[in-house]
Chain A
Amino acid sequence: MMRPVRAYYPILPVLIGYGILFGIGQMVPGKWQLISQLAFFCALGQAFNLFMGMTGYVDFGYVAFLGVGTYGMAVSIYYLFDKGLGLTMIVIGMILAAVFSTLLSLAVGAVALRLRGAYFAIATIGVNEGFRFLIEGARIWNGSDGMIFSRHMKTAFGRETAMALSMKWADVIVFGVAFLAAVMTLLYMRNKVGYALTALREDEDAAKVMGINVTRYKLIAFITSAILAGLLGASAWALKLTYVYPTDVFAIHYTVEAIIIVLLGGAGTLLGPIVGGLIYGVSKYYLAIVLPGFQLMIFAPIIIMIIVLFPEGTVGILKKRVFGTPLEKFII
């Protein structure tokens, strides 16, 4: 189905947003880690929103996809570092991350996507925790000993390249994943998938009666979202931090962070996760500096306040305000 080009205008503010962020990181010395952390939050929100925002299904175990993605990259580097593959290893790692997260999302999809609402949320928590205990209990990939592969990277690429990979290129990939997630979101929104999912979000039974193959579209969005999460884990956690422990990557608070980001920005909007990620990241960073040790106590009531008083999120409110102005076509 062809759509006029102007339907894709909203990608412009996304591009500008990430561009400015990237620019600040490159121009201002000594801020790159902060910028990459912000990009991580934006990407996390963006990828999570792709499925959650469109369908209204809350995947509480979403972090499992990041976890298996991290393992994908880790396995590649840990076991292949002395095979002389060079940078191909990174590519293999990314592919493994995508494959692992696809497989997991298919498995989860087969079970959990039949469920709705709270049942879905609980089932996905079960998947995340169960998977972690499987890795620990059956001692898969070293079990709880995890994998530390800084040395492997240095052996394979040399010290300088390894450093550049983890301190710079990993973050660049995070930006890439964030942008890719935004593009995919917009594509789906302007496509059959998006229409079907919108119908489903409003009333799943009615959508079914209308003859929409609900399961298929749900699965498409779910897998896309999972792959993006896998790539994010592979870059932001494995390649950047060069270690992986199961308790560390299957930690449910990352899902909570994703939900907070999406809600701050506005669920189901394209710009929301970027705005939400920036607000969340910057305020968290600042609170950690200003009030070390108290920031969670301050942050939690603010979250409640925002959810109760601004359920549409920042972009949701903005959307209403620009309605009927020339800006309208840029903001969704």
Chain B
Amino acid sequence: MKKRGLILLVVPFLAIAFFVAPAHAVDSIVIGHPAALSGSYAKAGEQAVGGVQAAVDWVNSVYGGVNVGGKKVPLVYKYYDCESKKESVTSLLERLITTDKVTVTFAPYSSGLTLAGAPVAEKYGIVYMDHGGASDKIFTQGFEYVVQTIGPGSSYHVGTLEMVKKIAPDVKRVALAYEDSEFARSVMDGAEAKARELGFEVVFKRTYPMKVEDLTPLLSDLKASDPEIVIGGGHFQDGQLFNKQMADLDINVKLLSLIAAATLPAFGEALGDLAEGVMGPSHWEYGVTFSEEGAKAAGMTWIGPSQDEYVALFKKAVGKDMLPDYHAAEASAQVLALVLAVEKSDSVDSDVLRKTLGDLTFMSFYGGWDIDDTGKQIGHSMVNVQWQKGERKIIWPEDAQTAKPVFPKPDFE
């Protein structure tokens, strides 16, 4: 009897026996990813996993594998779920490095979780590619193996302000209302600096807490400051709320630009007519016109699927009728960067890879890719999208336009 009771205790330890997994064959490139598939970042995590999978499928089936050591070897993707929790990131990352013997590691979504994994990657000296941590501060910490694909937060609203400056120079009054999170704050600080530099007048600057349920007091306050341009936002839910309650309070401005939320398909579905004319800065959007020909003209290396191929691959990878957004595209571009770096250096050694990535410049459907000495992304520029008649159109920069900007934006009905 006693022994049977102990089964409960013994069983988990038996599971430990499985930790010692069989050694991997050397003839493949393995990507390890402690993805955030559940918990607070589940949505972005799901996109990222789909994006990596889509790019890996493309490399293996269309591109024919990675050319290293004189032969084509397949790319393998291994991901676990870190539940958006920092402790799990460290242990799963270590498992990927030591047990699964991956070639490179990808960071989970968000700056916090990226930072949580960085010391582990540094300890094992393995390249740690960051597709979802936009904080500039990650790259002032002296990490040697962290490489960024997402652009730094401070540049998000720069293009928006430049656009206004160019097409309506007499518009001056800017209101900033961002979520009180590290990421949104870095966007806000970048936007404020740029606004002052371009001669705008910042008439309102406030934040609202994360997971807010009602923005009415803040927006009433904002309304009182009588702005012409409102830029702000933070994540998905609060961005929708922001737009909806602006409409509820009849706050009509010439331009409304929201980070993250407004660039996703769900935004237009949720808000319908209210989304008309709302803008958002995005790293990548369906419809951006980066192509092989364009890359050749600019003298850059091109790799990866075309945009339509990519969308098809993504849908297949997630097994749902879901459009990839910029979270997915970032993760995919990262895979392509890795492939190029491996081929260029003909090596899977981490130090060599890190050095090659540092010198690498290329273009894909995601746009340009180039990092500075600290690993920070500097080669990627953002686009601004606007909802026009229920569709997202790219309106800025001018050379990527799929439609002319509607300015001032139509009033809420």
Using CB atoms and an 8 Å cutoff, list the residues of chain A in contact with chain B: 29-34, 36-37, 40, 133, 136, 143-146, 148, 150-151, 154, 159, 163, 166-167, 236-237, 240-243, 245, 247-248, 253, 275, 278-279, 282-286, 288-289, 291-296, 314, 317-318, 321-322
Contacts and interface: CB of A to CB of B under 8 A. Distances in A.
Contact of A288 (B83, B119, B185, B210): B83
Interface in B131-170: 135, 137-138, 140-143
A136 B210 CA distance: 10
Given A30-B94, A144-B181, A288-B80, A248 B120 contact: no
Contacts of B210: 144, 247
Contacts of A321: 1-2, 5
Contacts of A167: 119-120, 123
Nearest to A166: B119
Given A33-B91, A242-B119, 11 more contacts: A29-B98, A31-B19, A144-B182, A237-B86, A240-B119, A245-B112, A279-B8, A288-B83, A292-B81, A296-B38, A318-B5
A292 B35 contact: yes
A293 B5 CA distance: 31
B83 A295 contact: yes
B104 interface: no
Nearest to B119: A166
Given A40-B87, A243-B112, A278-B12, A288 B142 contact: no
Interface of B: 1-2, 5, 8-9, 12-13, 15-16, 18-19, 35, 37-39, 42, 46, 79-83, 85-88, 90-95, 97-99, 112, 115-116, 118-120, 122-123, 135, 137-138, 140-143, 180-182, 185, 207, 209-210
Contacts, number: 141
B88 A163 contact: no
Contact of B93 (A33, A282, A289): A33
Contacts of B35: 292
Contacts of B143: 150
Nearest to A254: B85
A148 B5 contact: no
B141 A151 contact: yes
B12 A33 contact: no
Contacts of A243: 112, 115-116
A264 to B, nearest CB: 10
Nearest to A310: B8
B348 to A, nearest CB: 18
A267 B210 CA distance: 34
B98 A31 contact: yes
A226 to B, nearest CB: 21
B115 A33 contact: no
A141 B189 CA distance: 17
A322 B5 CA distance: 11
B97 A30 contact: yes
Contacts of B95: 30, 33-34, 289
Contacts of B90: 33, 36-37, 240-241
Given A31-B19, A150-B143, A292 B9 contact: no
A163 to B, nearest CB: 6
A286 B14 CA distance: 11
Given A37-B87, A241-B86, A293-B81, A148 B209 contact: no
A277 to B, nearest CB: 11
A34 B37 contact: no
A171 B80 CA distance: 23
Nearest to B118: A150
B180 A143 contact: yes
A11 B127 CA distance: 43
A241 B119 contact: yes
Nearest to A275: B9
A144 B210 CA distance: 10
Given A241-B86, A241-B115, A282-B16, A146 B98 contact: no
B141 A148 contact: yes
Contacts of B8: 279, 314
Nearest to A286: B15
A276 B306 CA distance: 51
A136 B180 contact: yes
Nearest to B94: A33
B375 to A, nearest CB: 13
B209 A133 contact: yes
Given A30-B99, A31-B98, A148-B137, A296 B5 contact: no
A306 B91 CA distance: 26
Contacts of B209: 133, 136
Contacts of B207: 144
Given A40-B87, A288-B83, A295 B38 contact: yes
Interface centre among A37, A146, A241 (most CB of B within 10 A): A241
Given A314-B8, A318-B5, A30 B98 contact: yes
Contacts of A32: 94
Contacts of B18: 286
Given A40-B87, A242-B115, A163 B142 contact: no
Nearest to B90: A33
Contacts of A36: 90-91
A318 B6 CA distance: 8
A288 B90 CA distance: 13
B80 A144 contact: no
Nearest to A144: B180
B182 A37 contact: no
16 contacts: A37-B90, A37-B91, A133-B209, A144-B182, A146-B182, A150-B118, A150-B119, A248-B86, A283-B12, A288-B81, A288-B88, A293-B37, A293-B81, A295-B38, A295-B81, A314-B8
A31 B17 CA distance: 12
A311 to B, nearest CB: 15
A285 B91 contact: yes
B142 A154 contact: yes
A31 B92 CA distance: 10
Contacts of A291: 81
A317 B2 CA distance: 10
B181 A34 contact: no
Given A279-B12, A288-B81, A145 B185 contact: yes
A29 B95 CA distance: 10
B171 to A, nearest CB: 30
